Amino acid sequence: MQPFCFSCDVEYTLTMKMKLSLISAAILSTSLLLSPMASYAKLPIAVNGQQLPTLAPMLEQITPGVVSIQVSGSKEVRRRADPLEYFFGNPQPRSQKRQFSGLGSGVIIDADEGYVVTNNHVIQDAEKMVVTLEDGREFEATKIGTDKESDIALLQIDADDLTEVKLANSDKLRVGDFAVAIGNPFGLSHTVTSGIVSALGRSGLNIEGYEDFIQTDAAINQGNSGGALVNLNGELIGINTAILGASGGNVGIGFAIPSNMMKNLVDQIIEHGEVRRGSLGISGRPLDAGLAKAQQLDVKQGAYVMQVMDDTAASKAGIKAGDVIISINGSDISGFHELRSKIATLGEGREVKLGIYRDGKVKTIKVTLDGASGVPAAGDELHPAFQGATLENVQKNGTKGIEVATVDPRSPSARVGLEEGDVIVQVNRQRVENIRQMNKIIEDTQGNIVLGVKRGRESIFVLIQKVTRYK
């Protein structure tokens, strides 16, 4: 009988266990190779008694609140002149009406009243708008009001048994929050995509006049415009508006109008039939690291106040040049563009709380907003030739324009021929109704600028020769 060897037995046991493990692994791998369908089996509805996460229950509740909007109409289209037409003495009209049709999305925000919100560009120039619900019912919609500058439109349908999408407080959003987009891209009804909130307070994109976008990587494509961006609770956080991509398709960068901004605009449309913009009466710029260092400011972001106009909401509230506005109603702001958009869309007469950084301390100031039509602006913010003039949006005798409120007689604005009381109604033969429109045309102009001005009962033209624009 051989002597018992404990170490040998252990070695043998370990060896056998290793062999069995290898055999088991080989059998498992073989079975996987032989049965490929097993690796693609359906996910179970529960694991260890815990139900797997799914968006289905939430979507089943809110997708009836997202609608398809079909539009049709005609619009004036200018065509290029053909020299041969004049040669043969048969010139054709330079413009003609063309029929068009389009498809977008919308969101029911009030089931009782039948209110549907969408983008202005979805229904612009439309003569007929048909809203199609998830259950297939169709209703012709009535336009209640629009705001081109922020790209919001409010429609109304006469229908029963509607589902509305509840609004979330978009000021509470954080980068990284989950987001779900619902709409009708390319006519594919009630398409759902998911992603996250990629950024907040996006502006300066030149998409709209007033920008304070939510950026998301949830896939947004043509036809999604006007659709819903919701959180995981099924609450509306934004209205899908635009995409950024060279090909016009989704590249993971989409933009939505925040729900709070939309609600402020819609409330004004319902109450007044139009949007009445709010204004502080300041000029400013975004705060950056260089400016903060130069001014010895211990803040990282906000709106730096460069000038406070006399007799405005800002001057009455005690805001001063050199202040940094860092928040609105408790929500931080990233820069001057975001401040401008939020103030404008809050509306005339609204009381807001502004967080102000001054002399190393933060204080809260209450401000009652002016109406934008009566707010002056420094002329040199638009063009060097306007230096010494104060401009403001006005409406006189049913005509909207930009009034020259004051002119320094020794200033460049006086030298080009502007006088106090002039109302600018055209820039390079393009009709303008407000300062923003005039500023955009001036920015896009490379050569001379010709202003169409109403002076009393006369209509005159003021020439501003090309100059190097300063920053």
Q: Are strands 303-308 and 254-258 parallel, antiparallel or unpaired?
A: unpaired
Bridge partners of 396, per DSSP, are 399
DSSP 18-73: HHHHHHHHHHHHHHHHH-GGGGGPPPPSEETTEEPP-SHHHHHHHGGGEEEEEEEE
Joined together, the tokens standing for residue 84 give 């041969």
Q: What angle do CA 396, 401, 405 make, to 5 degrees?
A: 80
Q: Round to whole Å and give the CA distance between 48 and 175.
A: 32
Torsion on CA atoms 333, 275, 182, 185, rounded to nearest 10? -110
Choice among 151, 217, 323, 422 that is catalytic:
151
DSSP 231-245: -TTS-EEEEEEEE--
Burial code of 30-49, b = ≥16 C-beta within 10 A, e = fewer? eeeeeeeeeeeeeeeeeeee
Task: Decide if 343 contacts 295 (C-beta within 8 A).
Answer: no
Let me know if 383 is a catalytic residue: no
Q: Round to whole Å and give the CA distance between 256 and 241.
A: 5
Choice among 105, 203, 225, 411 that is catalytic:
225
Choice among 121, 198, 279, 341 that is catalytic:
121
Task: Decide if 176 contacts 211 (C-beta within 8 A).
Answer: no
Let me know if 198 is a catalytic residue: no
Joined together, the tokens standing for residue 149 give 């500058």
Q: Round to whole Å and give the CA distance between 71 and 67.
A: 13
Let me know if 121 is a catalytic residue: yes
Q: Round to whole Å and give the CA distance between 329 and 93.
A: 54
- How far are the Cα atoms of 280, 308, 353, 374 from residue 392, in angstroms, in the given order? 13, 14, 25, 6
Residues with catalytic roles: 121, 151, 225
